[in-house]
Every structure is written in C-alpha cells, then in structure tokens.
Amino acid sequence: MELWYTEEHTDEVRFSIKVERQLFSGQSEFQTIDFFESKEFGRFFTLDGLMMVNEKDEFIYHDMITHVALATNPNIKKVLVIGAGDGGTVRELTRYKHIEQIDMVEIDEMVVRLCQEHLPITASKLEDERVNLYFEDGVKFVEGKEGEYDLIIVDSTDPIGPGEGLFTVDFYNNCYKALSEEGILVNQHESPYYENYAREMKRSHQKIKKIFPISRVYQAHIPTYPSGHWLFGFASKKYDPIKDVQVDQWNNFGITTRYYNTDLHVGCFFLPNYVKEMLESDDE
C-alpha cells in the first residue's frame, strides 16, 4: 500500500508527499487539522489541506520570521506573536535571554495542543516562563493596545479562513498603535510566483506601506510552501533592516542557526525584478 498526501498549489499544480501514516485528523472550531508522519519531511501538519510545518524545513521559516527583526533591533524586550500555533516562532524567541515577555495569541487552541503532542520540535518552548498564551482572536487582541510591544510577529495562515482578519488595514493600523516608538512588524507575506498567492502578497504590502514609514519585503527558500519562494514583510517605525542591522551584536548572542546569518540578512532583501515590480505596482 502507498499513502500520498497531495496539496494543490494551484488548480493546475500539485505537490505530493508519501506518508507513512496519518497521526491525527479532526475538525476544530475553526479549521480541519491533520498530522502525518513521512520519511522525507518527518512529521508535518496541515490546516484545511495546506502544509503548515514539517520537521525537515520548519527551521527555515522560523529562523526567517524571528532573527531578521532581532538583528535589526537587538534590544527588543516585549514581543507579541499572533498565530504561530505550532510554537516554532516562540521557540526561536526564547533563545534570546534578554527578551522579557512573549505574548502569543492563537485563535485555535486545538492546534497548539496537538502540536504539543505530535510536534515537540516546534512546541517545546511554549512553557517558558516568559510566554503568555492567549487563545483568542489576534485581531481583537491588538485593538486598543498602545505602545506595548517592540515587535509584533504575524505568523498566520493564508488570508482565507481564520487568517483573513490579519490581512486588513484595520489590523495593521492597530498593530502600528500597539508598537513602541522603535516597533517592528514582521508578517508572513505569501509568495510572488503563483497568481493566487501573488495577489494576496500585493494587497498586504499596499496596505502596510501606507501605514509604516519603513516597509520592506524579504525572501526565503522554503521548499514545502507553494513555489518554494516565500516572502516576509518587515515594517518599522524607525529601524531600517539593512542600514541598521547590528551584525556584531547579533553574532555575539551566540545563537546557532541553520538558515539565518547576518550576510543573508542583507541578501534576503534584494528581490528579483519581477517581485519588486509587483510590490511597487498599485493594481490589485
């Protein structure tokens, strides 16, 4: 017998993984959740049939969604993480001893509990004493907050389903207010290659760049996401991620990473022309 998981990257493109077994399949209040075991990627889980995290390349996504901001402002002390139910983003943040507070707001408690059971590689640091877990809607959580965080990381699903509100102007405005004077917003920013993802990428960037004085986009190679070409948004009130990167200070933290380094920190902001053109264009 062979068992294959197949994801539709577009209506015309499919990516399939041979799986050893399905570890869990169920429905939360918000979405369908599946966990699988595979030889190539180790354990992985999907939400509504889309790959979220796998043991083979989760390090790439989690390196890139955290360390770029921390090397730009190594004095970040209070962090808000929205989404990120697998715990990988929080795991990377807990490696910084000087971070004092990590508030994680995940709408779907079931995702967190299942990751704690099946994916300890990412979920293992959710019990760090600096971490406060809130099982709430991130959109509502940031409403009314003022100057509380040095960094907000939006580690969301795609803007369809429970992640939708995390791609709106109101939400980005509330993030701006919730950030300190030196605040940085990092968000997963979809992909430029397939049209369905590229549309969301452009919309998100158009909204953020109207709100934040500094708004840049950086890229990473994440093979299990559609096209493998994934983007992150870096929006900031004060710090420019290239001009202000604190290379020595970050390297002195002594944090070992398998993807991120301070050369790549600069390199990842140099985007292909076709991506730059999409980001600069005003069409939707």
**Which residues here bind a copy of itself, judged by CB under 8 A?**
4, 10-18, 38-40, 57, 60, 193-194, 219, 221, 223, 227-229, 257-261, 263-264, 266-274, 276
Is 128 annotated to bind a ligand? Reply is: no
User: Closest CB to a copy of itself among 173 and 227?
Assistant: 227
Cα–Cα distance for residue pair 264/32, rounded to 1 Å = 36
> Which position among 34, 155, 244, 282 bears the catalytic label?
155
User: Closest CB to a copy of itself among 75 and 252?
Assistant: 252
Cβ-contact 41, 56 below 8 angstroms:
yes
User: Closest CB to a copy of itself among 36 and 96?
Assistant: 36
Q: State the nearest-atom distance from the C-beta of 158 to a copy of itself, in Å.
A: 17
Is 11 annotated to bind a ligand? Reply is: no
Is 221 annotated to bind a ligand? Reply is: no
Q: State the nearest-atom distance from the C-beta of 78 to a copy of itself, in Å.
A: 28
User: Closest CB to a copy of itself among 134 and 259?
Assistant: 259
Is 138 annotated to bind a ligand? Reply is: yes
User: Closest CB to a copy of itself among 141 and 253?
Assistant: 253
Is 85 annotated to bind a ligand? Reply is: no
Output the 3-class SS for the chain: CCEEEEEEEECCEEEEEEEEEEEEEEECCCCEEEEEEECCCEEEEEECCEEEEECCCHHHHHHHHHHHHHHHCCCCCEEEEEECCCCHHHHHHCCCCCCCEEEEECCCHHHHHHHHHHCHHHHCCCCCCCEEEECCCHHHHHCCCCCCEEEEEEECCCCCHHHHHHHCHHHHHHHHHHEEEEEEEEEECCCCCCHHHHHHHHHHHHHHHHHCCEEEEEEEECCCCCCCEEEEEEEECCCCCCCCCCHHHHHHCCCCCCCCCHHHHHHCCCCCHHHHHHHHCCCC
CA atoms within 13 A on the CB side of 1: 4
Q: State the nearest-atom distance from the C-beta of 240 to a copy of itself, in Å.
A: 15
Is 256 annotated to bind a ligand? Reply is: no
Q: State the nearest-atom distance from the C-beta of 129 to a copy of itself, in Å.
A: 29
Q: State the nearest-atom distance from the C-beta of 62 to a copy of itself, in Å.
A: 13
Residue 155 is a catalytic residue:
yes
Binding residues: 31, 62, 86, 106, 137-138, 155-158, 162
Point out the residues that are catalytic.
Answer: 155
Binding residues for S-methyl-5'-thioadenosine: 31, 106, 137-138, 162
Binding residues for spermidine: 62, 86, 155-158
